[in-house]
Amino acid sequence: MAQKMWAGRFSKATDKDVNDYNSSLPFDCRMYEQDIKGSIAHSSMLAKQGIISQRDAEDIKSGLESILEDIKSGRLTFDSDAEDIHMFIEEELTNRIGDAGKRLHTGRSRNDQVALDQRLYMVDECDEILKLVEELIFTLKETALDNLHTYMPGYTHLQRAQPITYAHYLSAYIEMFRRDLRRIKAARDCTDISPLGSGALAGTTYPLDREYVANQLNMSGITNNSLDGVADRDFAIEFASAVSIFMMHISRMSEEIILYSSQEFKFYELDDAYSTGSSMMPQKKNPDVAELTRGKTGRVYGDLISLLVIMKGLPLTYNKDMQEVQEALYDVVDTIKAVLPPFIGMMKTMTIRKDNMEAAALGGFTNATDLADYLVKKGLPFRQTHSISGKLVFYCIENNTTLEKLPLETFKSFSPAFEEDVYDAISLKTCVEDRKLPGGPSPETVKKYLESI
Residues recognised as catalytic: 157, 278
Q: What is the DSSP string of 149-191?
A: T-EEEEEETTEEEEEEEHHHHHHHHHHHHHHHHHHHHHHHHHH
DSSP state, residue 407: -
Contacts of range 350-353, beta carbons closer than 8 Å, 24 or more positions apart: 350/257, 350/261, 350/268, 350/269, 350/270, 350/271, 350/274, 351/268, 351/269, 351/270, 351/271, 352/143, 352/147, 352/150, 352/166, 352/267, 352/268, 353/266, 353/267, 353/268, 353/269
Q: What is the C-alpha separation between 115 and 118, in angstroms, rounded?
A: 5
Number of H helices, E strands in the chain: 20, 4
The letter for the amino acid at 438 is: P
Phi, psi for 436 (deg, rounded to 5): -100, 5
**Beta carbons of 29 and 53 less than 8 angstroms apart:** no
Q: What is the C-alpha separation between 344 and 338, in angstroms, rounded?
A: 11
State the sign of the Cα–Cα–Cα–Cα dihedral 95, 96, 100, 104: negative
Q: What is the C-alpha separation between 331 and 336, in angstroms, rounded?
A: 9
Q: Which residues contact 220 (CB under 8 A, 6 or more apart)?
A: 189, 192, 193, 214
Q: What is the C-alpha separation between 274 and 258, in angstroms, rounded?
A: 13
Q: What 3-state DSSP class applies to 263?
A: coil
State the sign of the Cα–Cα–Cα–Cα dihedral 106, 110, 111, 112: positive
Instruction: Report how far apart, in Å, the C-alpha atoms of 365 and of each of 259, 370, 400 are.
Output: 21, 10, 12
**Beta carbons of 19 and 81 less than 8 angstroms apart:** yes
Instruction: Report how far apart, in Å, the C-alpha atoms of 169 and of each of 136, 166, 225, 275, 432 are.
Output: 15, 5, 47, 23, 12
CA-closest candidate to residue 214, choices 42, 396, 389: 42
CA-closest candidate to residue 152, choices 77, 59, 17, 259: 259
